[in-house]
Amino acid sequence: MTHVRNAAMVLVALLLVVAGVWASWGSAQHVLLSKGREHGTLAVTGCTDERCSGSYTPDDPASARRTLTIERSVAAGPGSRIPVVVKPGTDEGVRAGWGGGLHAWLPLGGALLLSAPLVAGGLRMRRTAWSVAGAGAAVVLAAFFTL
C-alpha cells in the first residue's frame, strides 16, 4: 500500500511540474529562442485588467511600426517603455530580457511551490521538498525584482 501511495504522490507532483512547464512554455519560448524574431520597444498607452497595448517601434528600421498588445504585469502601465519580442504571425508581444524570461516562467515557479508540500508530506523527502520550494521561490522572487 505504501508503494501505491508513493507512486500517486510522485504522479501528482510530476503532473504539477509538467503543467507549470506547459503553461510557461507558451511565452518562454519566444524569450528564450528569440534569435531571428522581431525585437523592439513597446510604448504602453493603455491597459485593461488583462492586457496592455501601445505603439511598437521595431529595432529593425525596415519593419513597420504598428500597435502591439502585451500581457499585463504590475510593472507595465501607461507611459512605460518595454523591450519586447513579437510572437510570429501576431500583434502580440512578450517582454524581452531577464525580466521577461522570469515572468514567463512564473507558472513553473508556482507549480514548484505547490508540489513541495506533496514531496515533503506525501513522499517524506523533506530536504528535496525544501530544494523544490527554494527553486520555486527563487523564480517568483527573481521575477518580482526584475520587473
Model confidence pLDDT, tens digit, residues 11-30: 999 999 999 999 999 989 99
- What contacts 76, CB < 8 A, 6 or more positions away? 44, 47, 52, 70, 82, 95
Taking the C-alpha atoms of residue 33 and residue 13, their distance in angstroms, rounded to an integer, is 28
In this prediction, residue 113 carries a pLDDT of: 96
pTM assigned to the model: 0.84
In this prediction, residue 74 carries a pLDDT of: 63
Q: Which H, E and C letters describe 22-54, residue by residue? A: HHHHHHHHHHHCCCCCCEEEEEEEEECCCEEEE
Model confidence pLDDT, tens digit, residues 33-84: 888 889 999 999 998 888 899 999 999 887 777 899 998 876 677 888 989 9
Model confidence pLDDT, tens digit, residues 114-139: 999 999 998 899 999 999 999 999 99
Taking the C-alpha atoms of residue 136 and residue 13, their distance in angstroms, rounded to an integer, is 13
* In contact, 91 and 44? CB cutoff 8 Å: no
